Amino acid sequence: MGALKYPLEQLVRIKNKRFEQAQKVLEEKKQELKEQEEILKKREAERDEVLKHKQEKLKQLRDELDTGTTSDKIQQMKLYLEVVDEKLEEKQKKVDAQKKKVEEAEKAVEMARLDLIQKQKDVEKLKIHKKQWQSEVHFWEKKEEGKILDEVGSQRYLRKKQ
């Protein structure tokens, strides 16, 4: 008997293709996460720079108060500090928004990873099924071969006997 073709071969190809696509999607999601994390680091650095500037101006204001300067200069410094506070608040909002984007990217990576695992399980199940199917086919081929050999043997015996 000729070797039988695995009946689910087309399904195996489809599952393998889906698995490969899931791998690509996971890599894309990981790259997106990495980009979002880099943007977050930049935004945090910008915020920290503004915070440092604010602290320097506060120190400068304290020094001016200690030395006893004019109230106009102090008022001007306080107004400038308010502008710096607004800028700091704006930078913090950007950082918070970017943190949300990073969290979304992390969730997307996790979803893609779970999808990849599921697709890998599907591929593995089909591999196991194919091995079982092949062993079953081999068993039935051996059984058929044994029947044919028995038949041939009994025909020879009958001919010799005659």
pLDDT score for 65: 81
Q: Summarize pLDDT for 103-158 with one digit per residue, the tens.
A: 999 999 999 999 999 999 999 999 999 999 999 999 999 999 998 988 888 888 88
Q: What is the rounded distance in angstroms from the CA atom of residue 29 to the CA atom of residue 110?
A: 9
**Cβ pair 84, 50 in contact under 8 A:** yes
More confident residue, 128 or 5: 128
The dihedral sign for the CA sequence 100, 106, 110, 115: positive
d(CA 127, CA 90): 55
Q: What is the pLDDT of residue 2?
A: 54
> For residue 1, what pLDDT is reported?
46
Instruction: Give per-residue pLDDT as tens, 24-79.
Output: 999 999 999 999 999 999 999 999 999 999 999 899 888 888 887 778 888 888 89
Q: Where do the domains of the chain lie, and which CATH numbers do they carry?
A: 9-161 (1.10.287.1700)
State the pTM of this model. Answer: 0.73
Please say whether the beta carbons of 33 and 109 come within 8 A.
yes
pLDDT value at position 70?
Answer: 76
DSSP 146-162: HHHHHHHHHHHHHHHH-
**Token duo for residue 99:** 């943190």
